[in-house]
Amino acid sequence: MARLNLWRWGVLGLAALYFLVPLAASVVFSVDMGDRISFDAYSRIAGTDGFVTSLLLALELAVATIALVLLLMVPAMVALRLGAPKLRPVVEIVCSLPLVVPPIAFVAGISTVLKWGPEYLSRTPLFQTMVAIQNPDFPVVLVLAYVVMALPFVYRALDAGLRAIDVRTLVEAARSCGASWPQALLQAVLPNLRGALLNASFLTLALVLGEYTVAHLLGFRPFAVWIVDISGAQAQMSVAVSVLSLLVTWVMLLALAALGGRRPATPTASQG
């Protein structure tokens, strides 16, 4: 037992070094001015041109992506588990395809469609749709791309959550009490999937905030692209922003883990 604990602490120590040493080096680089230590790179972040707009755009894209991917996947996963469990391997393969397709090939396909659309749809009502989804203020095309890229992570999180509960019994119990199918999903299934929903939301948020290739090649400028853009002229500030982003991500992960670990209070006999 002691040897097992020693091995466990050794693995944790190596993992900590793997993550903390680069982080510490980044912090040192961001505050080292040669002859003194200064936190000027951190204090100037909020006032830097493009910081607020790019961050807000990334957060808006993240919220829209989370809402859309959960709206698509939760009913589909529940219906799959209740009505067609034999199709689960097929859905799993389809949802895993974004891990196989390189981002460069993915964005090349999107670019081809966006270039083809205005030329062949110029005399149809769909032309305005093609223009609207490329609006730089809120590029819907990025939301659609991020939904596809998030499918593998959302599928795994929801599948693990659904495996931990008896979905059929919950739905049948809700239906026997007079609930409609939407009510059974919202009031019986979703409360028991809180942890899985939080995990899926966090993974999607991390994906959107850190995604660079698709946004850059399509010509948009969310937070990750902004960080790279300023790295040439303000290297210390770009590292400082990256460090803060990583710390904020860790804090959000811990908060979501704590929130997902809480259980709703059980009504007492007197309350009943």
- pLDDT(61) > 90: yes
Q: What does 205-232 look like in DSSP terms, one character per residue?
A: HHHHHH--HHHHHTT---HHHHHHHHHT
Residue 233 lies in a domain: yes
194-210 and 235-261 helices, crossing angle to 10°:
170
Is 226 contained in some domain? yes
181 vs 58, more confident: 58
Domain that holds residue 248: 39-260
| pLDDT of 1 | 62
Average pLDDT on 164-170 reads 86
Provide the pLDDT for residue 268: 41
- The answer to whether residue 15 is domain-embedded is no
13-17, 94-98, 268-272: which range is least confident on average?
A: 268-272
- Residue 199 CB coordination number (10 Å): 22
* pLDDT band of 70, cuts 50, 70, 90: very high
Q: Can you give the pLDDT at residue 147? A: 95
Span 13-39, mean pLDDT?
Answer: 85
| pLDDT classification of 131: cutoffs 50, 70, 90 | confident
Position 195 in a domain: yes
In a domain, 84, yes or no: yes
Helix axes 194-210, 223-231, angle to 10 degrees: 30
What is the per-residue pLDDT across 245-272, written as a single tens digit (0 to 9) for each?
888 777 877 777 776 665 554 444 334 3
Q: Is residue 269 part of a domain?
A: no
State the average pLDDT over residues 114-129: 76
User: How many structural domains compose the chain?
Assistant: 1
CATH number at residue 172: 1.10.3720.10
Q: What percent of the chain has pLDDT over 90?
A: 23
- CB atoms under 10 Å from CB of 130, counted, come to 20
Query: What pLDDT sits at residue 265?
Result: 47
Among 64-68, 130-134, 228-232, the range scoring the smallest mean pLDDT is 228-232
